[in-house]
Amino acid sequence: MITRIAPTPSGYLHAGNGAAFVLAWQLAREAGGKLLLRIDDLDIERVRPEYVQDIFDTLVWLGIDWDLGPRDPWQLAQSWSQHLRMPEYNRLLAELRAAGQLYACDCSRSQIAARASKAEYDGHCRSRDIDLDAPEVAWRLRIPQGSSLHMPVWPSRSARQYELDMPDPVVRQRNGRPAYQIASLSDDLRFQVDLVVRGMDLLPSTLVQLHIADVLGRPAFSQAVFLHHALLTGPGGGKLSKAAGAESLKHWRETGRGPGEVLALAERLRHSAWS
């Protein structure tokens, strides 16, 4: 078994991040499998050196060891950065384009929000036939309406059916950079990940990636097992977020707090996934 932890260095990690990392690490060790550290640094505008260092400091503080991936920021830059795998991401995009699965979209976020009360994309450009090579357009994946797919779930490994009821996602950004859905799927295929541990907020992303894998004939991803755990919330009941300034584990370390609370939170996540 190979599973992974995939932090994004866009802020200091919080307790929810740490608990999810511990859960993935525990499952790998209990199964005699391997753990990959994959740092999702594709969104270079949000990456900061201090956030990258925080990932390594947090893992050491939690007592997590990993079998694959960078050991420090230098190794990340030299051998493991997602930017080094850009050709692989672009090959997936080219396959989707050749299969007729994409269309161009020039809608801004403000335009989408003005048309839809939930600020979700409404398919406005589906039939506009904008040239995919036009400047400043995003590429969206055409999600077939009314379709469903089966996803093997942990720990039973039984397949559960889910509806593909979601807006057409962006797979290439307006700046020409592959979007998260493409990079994440490509990396999981490359490193042969067969257990994906994620929060429930990423369930739609899993479904999108399973659909892409099915369209492109990548059965390895469809045969992986998926665990979507509950989300830990802050004092006000909202989702913990780096962007929202949730209390960081860096602050915990600097004030002498140990990792015991995070380990206890990981047990809560485990029970939520098993229930």
Tens of pLDDT, residues 166-211: 999 999 999 999 999 999 999 999 999 999 999 999 999 999 999 9
Mean of the per-residue pLDDT values of the chain = 92
Residue count (the chain): 275
Predicted local distance difference test score (pLDDT) of residue 274: 62
- Give the confidence band of 231 by pLDDT, cuts at 50, 70, 90: confident
Q: How far apart are CA 234 and CA 29, in angstroms?
A: 29
Whole-number pLDDT of residue 233: 67
Q: Pick from 69-73, 112-116, 146-150 the range whose average pLDDT is largest.
A: 69-73
Q: Note down the domain range covering 78.
A: 2-99+149-170+180-274
- Which of the four pLDDT bands, split at 50, 70 and 90, describes residue 240? low
Quote the CA–CA distance of 248 and 254 in Å, as a whole number.
10
What are the structure tokens assigned to 177, written together? 């950079």
Q: What is the pLDDT of residue 244?
A: 46
User: What is the reported pLDDT for 120?
Assistant: 86
pLDDT reported for residue 245 = 47
Q: Which residue has the tokens 């080094």?
A: 84
pLDDT in tens, 25-57: 999 999 999 999 999 999 999 999 999 999 999
Higher pLDDT, 3 or 230: 3
Compute the average pLDDT of residues 69-94.
98
Residue 28 lies in a domain: yes
Residue 136 within a domain? no
Residue 217 placed within a domain: yes
The alpha helices in 142-240, defined as continuous H runs, are 180-190, 203-215, 219-222
Domain presence at residue 132: no
In this prediction, residues 144-152 reach a mean pLDDT of: 92
Looking at the domain assignment, is residue 210 inside a domain? yes
Question: What's the pLDDT score for residue 246?
Answer: 56
Distance CA 43, CA 35 (A): 23
**Is 196 a member of any domain?**
yes
Beta partners for residue 170, in sequence order: 140
Residue 242 in this model has a pLDDT that exceeds 70: no
pLDDT of residue 216: 96
* Alpha-carbon span 143 to 66, nearest angstrom: 36
Q: Is residue 270 part of a domain?
A: yes
Q: Find the CATH number of the domain harbouring 22.
A: 3.40.50.620
Instruction: Output the pTM of the full model.
Output: 0.92
Mean per-residue pLDDT, 121-135 = 95
In total, how many domains does the chain have?
A: 1
C-alpha–C-alpha distance, residues 200 and 27, integer Å: 18
What is the mean pLDDT of the segment spanning 236-253?
70
Q: Is 209 a member of any domain?
A: yes
